[in-house]
Amino acid sequence: MKKKISRRTAIRAVAGTTALAGTVEFSASSVIAAEEVKSSLKGHVNHSVCRWCYNQIPLEKLCQASKSMGLASVELVTVKEFPVLKEHGLACAMVSGVPGGIENGLNRIENHDKIVAFFEEAAPVVAKAGFRNIICFSGNRRGMSDEEGLKNCAIGLKRIVPIAEKHNVTAVMELLNSKVNHRDYMCDHTPWGVELCKQVGSERFKLLYDIYHMQIMEGDVIATIKKHHPYIAHYHTGGVPGRAEIDDTQELYYPAIMKAIVDTGFKGHVAQEFVPKRDPLTSLKQGVLICDV
């Protein structure tokens, strides 16, 4: 029986997974199948994959597999892991490591100094590596009103934006559901995040639109993407319900969603962030092909 793991737990553990991960076979037949995926890609989508969903695979192996199937990025890794990605010619489309994680974010003034210090240290390293997006979070409400949280996040981000502008990187706040996975999280609806972008007023702060999370919170995914795409820097996938494979076992039709994203002129990355219930690399290949429109 596989042990269920949450993203929160995985993010905390990701730095040590390479040494501790169990072995996963990466056979010649897998390489051949992956190369077939790579040769079939249309070139309209920059594909990425979230590291934490594949923690059972050592990072080196995941990079090999990702590269062989045509992915451009392995993401949600820290700056310490950049050399492994670079060795395989991969980008990190979304850099992680912000202090406080998901729950203790920018909606509280007392968190700002540590988060700003992180951006001061990480931004030049990310820029030097040729990457551009660094994730951040609103934090949980804990009784705070959305209005106060919006104000506090804007205060903190206005300290971060000059750093991002100096190094040509982008601070990106993720939209997460507060109904199933991240109860009490504040940035849980697109209009709230868009309003924050407007208050910050810089192209160096945008949103990570997680399709799985926003389907749970508000639905209307394609219309939302069409309306708010100027404020979106990045996309994540995931099957609803259950966050498993994005195939016909779930309620979202990803080819139509991906076509809507491509039609907006989006040039960033779309990352697979589902938790595989079947063979992980086979499911990753399937997800990439489904999203390649």
Point out the least confidently predicted range of 19-33, 184-198, 268-282. 19-33
pLDDT band per the 50, 70, 90 thresholds, residue 40: very high
Distance CA 195, CA 154 (A): 10
Residue 192: strand, helix, or coil? helix
Distance CA 85, CA 83 (A): 5
The predicted model gives 82-105 an average pLDDT of 98
Q: Residues 277, 266, 81, CA angle at the centre, nearest 5°?
A: 55
CB 91 within 8 A of CB 46: no
Distance CA 176, CA 150 (A): 15
pLDDT at 128 over 60: yes
Distance CA 260, CA 248 (A): 19
pLDDT tens column, 17-28: 333 333 344 344
**What is the CATH code for 7-291?**
3.20.20.150
- The pTM (predicted TM-score) of the whole model is 0.89
pLDDT at 113 over 50: yes
CB 198 within 8 A of CB 233: no
Distance CA 232, CA 261 (A): 10
- Where do the domains of the chain lie? 7-291
